Structure 1
Amino acid sequence: MRRALGGILALLGALFIGIGLLAKPYIFNSLATVPLNQDSTSVSQGLDMAVLYPHVVDGKPVIDKLSGVKVVSTREVRGIPGVVKQAGVEDTDAFWQTTVKSQAEVDGQLVDLSFSDTGVSIDRISGEATNCCGDYTSVGDLTDPTAQKPMTHAGQVFKFPFGVQKTTYQWWDADLEMAVPIEFQSEEKIEGTTVYVFKQTIDPTPLASIEAPKSLFEEGAEGNVTATEVYSNTRTLYVEPVTGVVIEGREQINSVYEAEGYAPIAKTVGEIGFDDETVAQNAKDWGAKAGLLSFIENWLLLVGLVLGSILVAIGAYLLLKPAKAAAPDTATPPTARAARHT
């Protein structure tokens, strides 16, 4: 029994040592990788915003100028493993499709403002764009809502790398269609989860020019006018540093149309950010995963080696300890007992 127990303890000890030695090179690295089949939804909300509401009335396109409205933006991210496989790329890359539907509250009802659809290839560890698998973005409007064009992405698109550093990264901006520096600001806590705060400032930048109805700038005016979209933004991201996941994001957007001789018209102006439910769920889910990854990376080796060594030592002691010699029989021999009774 003693030898069997010693053997079991020695095997358990060797198992713990093996787990400890594999903690960083295998267990941590296999977990610190984004999934191919990502499936997530985040909701952002902005109050007192100014937006343009393009829609169709009696078969004709109409653009209403809304101000002081609530805007809700729902973003879904879905991984499509088949795209990577079809492109013949190793599974170090992932292809994620992200759709964003923006809506405004009008007379108590949410009406659609815009819808975008983008496909992005990313490195599964660094989170950087790789453009391996046919990246694209939607360019649809009221006349052709499903139109797309190829896109070359750069920098971080969905998340930061595992093991975020307090430095400057390049973060993709979909309006500029380029990556812009985003700088580390501070360290904070959200719902008990440590986050790094990064800030990206985009100065007013002219984007595309369009032929817009003059009535957009002057009520009752007829004809069209050339208008240029001028875009600026201050983006603040609160990032869980172990996983690189954005726990909370906020944007101060100022996107307006400018035409010579007219006052600028707001396309999207105001502050919008993750709603409370999205932030709380992100902090809960990714705070827990970060704790697990930190334990595996920083403590599992030590725990495995110490606990394993103790178990191996106890097991070896039980296996190698000599068996106790049989105690001498001090009982009176039967013949002696018989002699005393005769």
Structure 2
Amino acid sequence: MRRTASVLPLALLGLGVFVLVFGQLLGQYVEPRVKRTPLDVDTTSVLTGAGSYFDASALATVDGKRITITRRIVGDVAASERSGNAVWNVSTQIDTPKTLPLRDPRRSLQWTTERWVTDRRTNLPVHCCGEQPSFRGDAYLKFPFDVRRRTYTWWDDVLGAAVPLKFSGTTTVLGHEGYVFAGTVAPKPTGVFRQVPGALMGRPGQGRVRAEEWYADAGIELAVERRTGRIMNARIAPKVTLRAPGARHDAVTLLASDRLEFTDATRRAQVAQTSRDSRRLEALGETAPVLGTVAGGALAAAGMILLVRGRRRPAVGGTSQAVDRAHTDD
């Protein structure tokens, strides 16, 4: 009995200290190592809405047509493991009702391929591994982990520059809360020039004219999950035009829409992935340390109490001997 009574307090004390330390280790050491941009990503996001685009076959801009932007991101796992960074290959295609059924990016209205390299912890750009283009800013494709209520610089691949997006409140996407970041892009030249018929530029006397491409966005709005930095919903209002050399006004609209937004399927997929990642980070970074502190502290306290009480209680054998000596003296 004596030996059993002394083992229990020590066991509770040891278990309590273990649970307490283990919970803190999960929060301070394991969770930061899990909080990394994934390498084996393979996702597709689709934005769609009504708008206008230039029909090359008709040499005119057509209005009120459905525009679809499809972006696929595939991680280059081998390059990522060699460099220690997140290396993603990105394919973006813009389709019209004519080109979308073809399911061939080469026959779409526009198709671009890029290679993005970012630091897996900070999400900042890393210039290596065949990066193309060389970009800047805090965010692109996703935001950093632990998003704050501040202004972030979002890389706009059409403009070829970073755009400030300000925190503008909170929102709920399919029951999942997120931060909203919004901004606009005033009309600016993109640095791209195109050879087009002079008649399109209001210069019918010239056969070909070197036209300058301009870009604007009346409203970028991104709903971002706080822990993961994933984008749960996106809305944009792009406008791409051509201007004659030195002109102050647009001559041709290549692409324009007041609102292109994630499809319902894309929102569901983004929120589902976000929920899984967010719960995992919450469990490691918040729930486990708190539960570890509470449970470990309770177990350790119980062990200490039993240990102190055991030391204060006189031993059974010692009491019997004292009684026997008293009888002998009498």
Q: 1:248 aligns with which of 224, 230, 233?
A: 233
**Do residues 267 (structure 1) and 254 (structure 2) align?**
yes
Query: Unpaired runs of 5+ in structure 1?
Result: 56-61, 137-150, 327-342
Deviation at 1:304, TM superposition (A): 0.2
Bigger mean CA offset, 268-277 vs 111-120: 111-120
Q: CA deviation at 1:314?
A: 4.7
Root-mean-square deviation over aligned CA pairs: 3.3
Change (3 A) 1:315 1:259: same
- The answer to whether the 8 A contact 1:7-1:315 is kept is yes
Deviation at 1:267, TM superposition (A): 0.8
Query: Given the alignment of the two structures, is residue 153 of structure 1 paired with residue 114 of structure 2, yes or no?
Result: no
Shift of 1:79: 1.2
Match of 1:97 in 2: 89
**1:211–1:224 CA contact under 8 A, matched in 2:** yes
| 3-state SS in 2 of match to 1:105 | coil
Structure 2 length-normalised TM = 0.79
Which residue is equivalent to 2:324? none
State the one-letter code of the partner of 1:197.
V
Q: Between Structure 1 and Structure 2, how many residues are aligned? A: 301
Structure 2 CA distance, aligned partners of 1:8 and 1:164? 42
The equivalent residue for 2:121 is 125
Deviation (angstroms), 1:269? 0.3
Which residues of 2 match residues 122-201 of structure 1 at below 5 A?
122-136=118-132, 151-155=133-137, 156-201=139-184
* Residues 15-26 of structure 1 mapped to structure 2, 5 A cutoff: 15-26=18-29
Measure the CA separation in 2 of the matches of 1:54 and 1:14.
72
Partners in 1 of 2:233 and 2:315 — Cα distance? 67
1:257 and 2:242 are equivalent in the alignment: yes
Match of 1:145 in 2: none
SS in 2 for 1:106: coil
Match of 1:50 in 2: 52
CA contact (8 A) 2:9 2:304 kept: yes
SS in 1 for 2:183: strand
Looking at secondary structure, tell me which structure has more strand per residue: 1
Aligned: 1:80 with 2:76: yes
Q: State how far apart, in whole Å, the 2-side matches of 1:36 and 1:107 are.
A: 32
TM-score calculated relative to the size of structure 1:
0.76
Q: In terms of mean alpha carbon deviation, does 188-197 or 4-13 score higher?
A: 4-13
8 A Cα contact 1:73 1:101, kept in partner:
yes
Instruction: Show the counterpart of 2:108.
Output: 112
Task: Tell me, yes or no, if the aligned pair for 2:201 and 2:209 is still in contact at 8 Å.
Answer: no
> What is the aligned counterpart of 1:282 among 262, 270, 273?
270
Offset of residue 266 of structure 1: 1.4
Aligned in 2, Cα 1:115/1:6: closer, same or farther, shift over 3 Å? farther
> Which AA in structure 2 matches 1:269?
A
Query: Which structure 2 residue ranges, 5 or more long, are not aligned?
Result: 318-330
179-188 vs 295-304, greater mean Cα deviation:
295-304
Distance in 2 between residues matched to 1:278 and 1:5, nearest whole Å: 55
In 2, Cα distance between equivalents of 1:74 and 1:221: 39
Q: Give the alignment of 1:186-225 within 5 angstroms.
A: 186-207=169-190, 208-214=192-198, 216=200, 223-225=207-209
